[in-house]
């Protein structure tokens, strides 16, 4: 069959033969491309007609296979049986699957390396790092606890030292302190300052700070001294304002008839001069103090003139006593006249 023959001049058998020849030519070309791509694919094996495998690197064997695949141009039409036999021979040729190994790029290699490193870190490095961090946290907590304990002990030491110094300062003997206070009954307005020894400060200072209590049935309400014709009311408190209203009962001292020292003061030259003649009393004279309607009789046992700072006379007594106080001498008032009496029949 001539290559220049027109397709219309060929018979069906010739067309089939020509088509089969082209098919074998394409298969051979594909085989050549696969066999020649050694950089991109691994080796492939060709199976010959007898079933044996042929290595493409073996040039002699490859040449024999190529001759088997070479197209054959029939010189004359062949019977259908011969064509089928030749086709069967061609169909008997089989190829093994070509395994192509793709090339990996540098980026893929880097990603693979990082993946292995990451996997190694999480499997081996991370537990070590975690253990070290936990150890550091435990050490930090221990250091903090030690610091807190040390600070607490230091503060406790400082506090104990301050308390000890305060106690020592209280125990050290100090000079006698003085207070601006005098015996009640002065005819001078407040402002005359006298010094009182420290042991007797409590006898004079509370009088100014203790509020005047509400009058009750047991409080002194009236004083009667028959020998000097005194009959005057008794108010609570012995300050300057209270003594304007009569004689004054010192707040905190004993009530009439009670065990202790009841102190009553009065003026001798101002505001009625109630105790003007108190100096005329003698030992044994009677003084009557009322608590409401109940009279309590006292008998004079002592009379004295003292300085205005003799506040020891305001101290409590073990028995029921009465202390009367006024200024002395008359119109001069530099001292105090004190009358002491005791409850009769006690």
SS3 of residue 263 by DSSP = strand
* Block residue for tokens 């490095």: 125
Task: Report domain extents, the chain.
Answer: 7-95, 105-150, 195-210+218-343
Q: Please name every residue paired with 339 in a beta bridge, in sequence order, or none if there are none.
A: 303, 324
SS3 of residue 338 by DSSP = strand
SS3 of residue 304 by DSSP = strand
* Block residue for tokens 């101002």: 270
- In our burial notation (b when 16+ CB lie closer than 10 A, e otherwise), range 139-158 reads eeeeeeeeeeeeeeeeeeee
Query: pLDDT tens digits, residue range 91-109?
Result: 444 445 545 555 556 667 7
Dihedral angle sign, alpha carbons of residues 227, 231, 232, 236: positive
Q: Residue 272 in contact with residue 233, Cβ under 8 Å?
A: no
Class level of CATH domain 195-210+218-343: mainly beta
Query: pLDDT tens digits, residue range 233-278?
Result: 999 998 888 999 999 999 999 999 999 999 999 999 888 899 999 9
Q: Residue 43 in contact with residue 31, Cβ under 8 Å?
A: no
pLDDT confidence of residue 51: 52
User: Which residues of the chain carry a pLDDT beneath 50?
Assistant: 4, 38-44, 46, 74-95, 98, 171-180, 192-195, 206-210
pLDDT confidence of residue 55: 55
For residue 286, CA distances in Å to 139, 200, 247 come to 89, 29, 17
∠ Cα 219 242 186 (to 5°): 115
Six-digit token pair at 182? 């005098």
For residue 245, CA distances in Å to 182, 237, 265, 272, 331 come to 20, 11, 12, 9, 20
- In our burial notation (b when 16+ CB lie closer than 10 A, e otherwise), range 69-78 reads beeeeeeeee
Query: Quick count: other Cβ atoms within 10 Å of Cβ 258?
Result: 14
pLDDT confidence of residue 95: 46
């Amino acid at each position: 069959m001539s290559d220049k023959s027109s397709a219309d001049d060929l018979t069906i058998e010739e067309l089939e033969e020509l088509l089969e020849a082209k098919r074998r030519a394409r298969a051979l070309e594909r085989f050549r491309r696969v066999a020649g791509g050694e950089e991109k694919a691994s080796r492939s094996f060709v199976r010959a007609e007898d079933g044996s495998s042929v290595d493409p690197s073996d040039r002699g064997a490859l040449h024999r296979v190529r001759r088997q695949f070479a197209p054959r141009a029939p010189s004359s039409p062949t019977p259908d049986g011969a064509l089928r036999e030749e086709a069967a021979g061609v169909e008997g040729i089989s190829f093994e699957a070509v395994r192509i190994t793709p090339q990996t790029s540098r980026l893929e290699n880097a990603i693979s390396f990082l993946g292995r490193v990451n996997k190694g870190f999480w499997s081996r490095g991370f537990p070590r790092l975690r253990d070290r961090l936990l150890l550091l946290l435990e050490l930090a907590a221990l250091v903090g606890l030690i610091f807190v304990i040390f600070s607490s002990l230091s503060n406790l030491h400082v506090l104990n030292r301050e308390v000890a110094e305060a106690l020592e300062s209280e125990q050290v003997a100090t000079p006698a302190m003085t207070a601006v206070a005098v015996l009640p009954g002065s005819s001078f307005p407040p402002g005359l300052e006298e010094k009182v020894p420290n042991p007797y400060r409590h006898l004079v200072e509370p009088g100014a700070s203790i509020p005047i209590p509400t009058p009750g049935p047991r409080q002194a309400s009236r004083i009667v001294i028959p020998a000097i014709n005194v009959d005057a009311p008794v108010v609570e408190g012995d300050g300057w304002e209270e003594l304007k209203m009569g004689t004054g009962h010192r707040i905190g001292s004993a009530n009439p008839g009670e065990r202790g020292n009841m102190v009553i003061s009065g003026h001798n030259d101002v505001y009625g001069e109630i105790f003007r003649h108190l100096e005329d009393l003698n030992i044994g004279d009677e003084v009557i103090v009322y608590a409401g309607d109940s009279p309590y009789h006292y008998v004079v046992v002592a009379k004295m003139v003292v300085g205005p700072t003799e506040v020891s006379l305001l101290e409590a007594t073990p028995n029921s006593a009465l202390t009367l106080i006024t200024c002395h001498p008359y119109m001069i008032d530099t001292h105090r006249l004190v009358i002491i009496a005791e409850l009769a029949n006690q």
